[in-house]
Structure 1
Amino acid sequence: MPATKSVKLNTGAEMPTLGLGTWKSGTGEVAHAVEFALKNGYKHIDTATAYENEAEVGQGIKASGVPRESFFLTTKLNNNDHLRVEEALDSSLKALGTEYLDLWLMHWPAPMVQDLSGPDRSIDWLDTWKKMVEVYKANPGKLKAIGVSNFCVDWLKRLLDNSDVVPAVNQIELHPSCTQEELVELCRQKGIVVTAYSPLGSNDSPLLSSEIVKKIAEKHNVHPATVLISLQANKPGVNVLSKSVTNSRIISNLNVIDLTDEEIKELQGIKTNHFRVCHPNWTGWGSLGFSDCE
């Protein structure tokens, strides 16, 4: 499956295949990265209230001078905002300096107390989703699409059984040590685009030194990171986020390549210890509803 420039959402909108992720980008670096990325061909910027950089992302957007309608913008509802959905949306719009979002995601199905010190089990994330649907339907000028993030198979099935709106996107961790194949297939069957984050595995990931990755990178004369990013971009119904604040790497990450079916099979079959960069245990909800990466 060759890489494409965009994937179609169930709303009919086109979402760029490659986006700039801003998770863990340092304060003082994000605005430049966003500005540089937009000026050099990126068509999707991804952030979240939890990253505490929406205002800086907004500064980068403004500094780029790139018309708002020419790129796709995603942010996410924070875990401690499950009881203030509409207010949280307006706060994100204000911080980003934009009148609308192309995509708004529930960051985790894990409502938390205000100080983020632990879970608030009195709140059902399904009620939060229903409120997001209500806000989405009432505000087409503010929200072009809504979706979820870090949803496992069981929780996604629960949502689908109880909602008349199918999420446009499920943003999840995807790389050869966390393939989540059952979840990806479920999303594909239901017309939900999968956005892959952490495609390299992590900073200084052991995947970058995999002999399989290096062999394929040498064949295509690209950096090993390009191979891992391209792996996700070559899957039907999947797009991918790359993250960097370095100009040269931001440019390099744009170089998505076509992979053969055999190369994809090799990459998916890399035998390393399965690991997650962002395991749901951090939320305090434990791994309820989550399975280990296949």
Structure 2
Amino acid sequence: MTAPDIPTIELRTPAGDIPIPLLGLGTWQSDGDDAYRAVRHALEVGYRHVDTATAYGNEDQVGRGIADSGVDREKVFVTTKLPPDAAGRERETLEASLRALGTEYVDLWLVHWPPNKQATPATWQAFRDLRDEGLVRAIGVSNYSVAQIDELVDATGEAPAINQIPWSPADFDLGLVTAHAQRGVALEGYSPFKRTDTSHPVLTGLAEAKGVSVEQVVLVWHLRHRVVVIPKSVTPERIERNIDVLDVHLSDEEVAAIDALSTVGG
């Protein structure tokens, strides 16, 4: 099977920009053989981006799925994350992730949550050091505020390459998008469906008009905004349907209508 041409955006690193596929497979709550089968199937049908975390407890199964997929490791963008309670044990935690995943490096490593709800520049500096050693290609954060990102920049002179946050039409916030863009920080969204009112007439109307599901409309909306999205599924049919969106088009007016579903500030 020929892999679909999934669009990418660039993550900034001191060594040069690194492309990240805008659409990937999330593995939160995917356990054991379910995680293995989901990752392997996703890669076999054309995904080239897999997101996991130390806290998910499935890095070994994710790694096995990658290894057994037949896809070269260099062609798969792999993300994992440092639990906030592992602050101060960054090297130990990353090395454990690499062993579990069966790889010599990860493409993206994130601080999963601000440790003790603080920006924690010391952890960010440790991330920079481990990246510079070659154990990670790009580094970023998850669930950080713009103010916390600024604290990391003030302390180290370097912004995260990406911030992974909850994102859906209900979460759309142009000010937040702009603030990240001004800092050169890409946005990555999680829980795209869980946080969406899939019965809203704007979404159901667009889905019906285009002959696709509401979930597919939401994914295309992410792609139009150049926000990385990682829908989670262990069901083969859903995994396939989530990637079958690359030929679906939303006009500027249709994107704006979805933007207007935001509940931020209202």
Q: TM-score of the superposition, structure 1-length normalised?
A: 0.82
Distance 1:98 1:109, change over 3 A: same
The aligned residue for residue 262 of structure 1 is 253
Q: Which deviates further from its counterpart, 127-136 or 33-42?
A: 127-136
> In structure 2, how many angstroms separate the alpha carbons of the residues matched to 1:151 and 1:260?
31
Q: How does 1:1-294 map to 2 (within 5 A)?
A: 5-11=7-13, 12-111=17-116, 125-137=120-132, 139-140=133-134, 142-202=135-195, 207-236=197-226, 238-256=227-245, 257-270=248-261, 274=263
Equivalent pairs counted in the alignment come to 257
Larger RCO, structure (CA 8 Å, separation 6 or more):
1
Runs (4+) of structure 1 exceeding 3 A deviation are: none
> In structure 2, how many angstroms separate the alpha carbons of the residues matched to 1:168 and 1:258?
28
Name the structure where helix makes up a greater proportion of residues: 2
The aligned residue for residue 287 of structure 1 is none
Does the 8 A contact of 1:9 with 1:193 survive in 2? yes
Helix, strand or coil at the partner of 1:58: helix
How big is the alpha-carbon RMSD for the aligned residues of Structure 1 and Structure 2?
A: 1.9
Does the 8 A contact of 1:108 with 1:150 survive in 2? yes
> In structure 1, how many angstroms separate the alpha carbons of the residues matched to 2:174 and 2:27?
25
> In structure 2, how many angstroms separate the alpha carbons of the residues matched to 1:89 and 1:9?
20
Does the 8 A contact of 1:177 with 1:201 survive in 2? no
Helix, strand or coil at the partner of 1:41: coil
Identity %: 39
Stretches of structure 1 lacking an aligned partner (at least 5 in a row): 112-118, 275-291
Q: Which deviations, in whole Å up to 9, do the C-alpha atoms of 1:236-262 show, x marking residues without a partner?
A: 4x2111111111110100022331111
Deviation at 1:201, TM superposition (A): 3.0
> In structure 2, how many angstroms separate the alpha carbons of the residues matched to 1:82 and 1:182?
30
Deviation at 1:270, TM superposition (A): 1.7
> In structure 2, how many angstroms separate the alpha carbons of the residues matched to 1:230 and 1:198?
15
Q: Which deviations, in whole Å up to 9, do the C-alpha atoms of 1:78-133 show, x marking residues without a partner?
A: 1111010011110000011111111000001124xxxxxxx7x8xx6221111111
